Amino acid sequence: MYSDNSQKKLIKPVTLSTLKQMKTDKDKITILTSYDATFTNVMNVAGVEAILVGDSLGMLVQGQDSTLPVTIEDMCYHTAAVKRGNTNAFIVSDMSFMSYSKPEQALDNAAKLMQAGANMVKLEGGSWLADTIKLLSQRGIPVCAHLGLTPQSVHKLGGYKVQGKSQETADLLLQESLELVEAGADMLLYECIPTALGKSLTEAVPVPTIGIGAGHYTDGQVLVLHDMIGLNLGHTPRFVKNFLIDGRNITEAFEAYVKEVKDMTFPGAEHGFK
């Protein structure tokens, strides 16, 4: 990426060390989902630090009714497309449903994603993932653990509901977070948890925390591309804001998102949960 096309001034690539330093410096991390080269390139220009190749592509690109039909081959295809459009952002790729049910299986599939262009893989789950994360970490594969509302387990959870509302479930989230960090997780993503819990978890763990519906105290934020430009289908989640408004183009929408996350005007109180 070049910050000024006329001067061709190269911007340094974002690495895991960059993201960890941003937590230390209290510099908010911005992440958006992308599934192709074109949007990825525009996100680079707008200053988005990390790209999530999300299994949300199942609904948004493939027209599925959930993330469950997405395969590891699908994830590799879209990760490679994002990689080709990327110049400096850190790429995180979702591991698809049942692609990491056993540690050795997870290692094989994580290797495929890394070879396709990912800098980190993301897995959904709690303490049961500790052995898997330990194995991946030992083999040099950075891991983001996704906790709280985990869409791949939505049928088990009984729907898309806020997690960690009781003291018991909040304590469990903290316990599992610490266990997964101890196992080697380099980043934690929390989805749909109370804002106050997002704050306490962020203060308790030494790795960057990313929130989606987790309040503004997490170290960074992520939104689904289609949601933040008003192309979501059906119900709009509470934590979503449409940035493609007031005459903005796509680049300006991404820039507005970066600015509002950085100055902590997004997410606002209206985007969080109690």
In one-letter notation, the amino acid at residue 189 is L
Tell me which residue of 115, 111, 144 sits closest to 16, measured CA to CA.
144
Q: Is 124 annotated as a binding residue?
A: yes
Catalytic residue at 191?
yes
Instruction: Give CA–CA dist 265/272, Å, rounded.
Output: 12
Q: Is 25 annotated as a binding residue?
A: no
- Helices 167-183 and 195-204: crossing angle in degrees, nearest 10, is 30
Q: Is 252 annotated as a binding residue?
A: no
Instruction: Give CA–CA dist 54/45, Å, rounded.
Output: 20
- Check: CB of residue 65 under 8 Å from CB of residue 84: no
The residue with tokens 């290692």 is: 107
Instruction: Give CA–CA dist 98/90, Å, rounded.
Output: 25
In one-letter notation, the amino acid at residue 180 is L
Instruction: Give CA–CA dist 122/138, Å, rounded.
Output: 16
Task: Name the active-site residue from 49, 176, 191, 260.
Answer: 191
- Check: CB of residue 3 under 8 Å from CB of residue 9: yes
How many Å separate Cα 254 from the centre of its chain? 16
Known catalytic residues are: 191
Residues annotated within the binding site are 55-56, 94, 122, 124
Residues annotated within the binding site for 3-methyl-2-oxobutanoate are 55-56, 94, 122
Residues annotated within the binding site for Mg(2+) are 55, 94, 124
